[in-house]
Amino acid sequence: MNTAILLTDVIPKTLEWSPTVGGIMIACNVLAFIVGRSTIKYPNVGPELPGSGAIGGVSIPALLATTSFGHIVGTGVILGLNTRDYLS
């Protein structure tokens, strides 16, 4: 039996990018930034962002941490919605 045939039966269809997918990722990153800004113990420690007053007064490490977390959450949400066929 050919293993390639078995794998194609199990692997779900890959979701293509759309404005809806982009909007979900942006919303997850904004939510992660809001949660991270209020829960990080020292959000101002480290190199400062240019114009940090407009971004919420967080440092570069805090911004990288919150957006990394936002991408992880966004990927999970997009894959979960795709599995349930809400994004097809």
Q: 51-79 pLDDT, tens per residue?
A: 767 677 788 999 999 999 999 999 999 99
**Which residues have a Cβ under 8 Å from the Cβ of 40 and sit 6 or more positions away?**
58, 62, 65, 66
Return the ∠ at Cα 81 (arms to 78 and 17), rounded to 5°. 45
Question: Is-above-0.85 flag for pTM?
Answer: no
Contact (Cβ atoms closer than 8 angstroms) between residue 67 and residue 33: yes
Q: Is 70 left (phi over 0), alpha (psi -120 to 50) or beta?
A: alpha
Q: Give the residue, 87 or 53, on which the prediction is more confident.
A: 87
Averaged pLDDT score across all residues of the chain: 85
Average pLDDT rounded to a whole number, residues 29-35: 94
- What value does the CA radius of gyration of the chain take, rounded to a whole number of Å? 18
pLDDT band for 35, please (50, 70, 90 cuts).
Answer: very high
pLDDT band of 85, cuts 50, 70, 90: confident
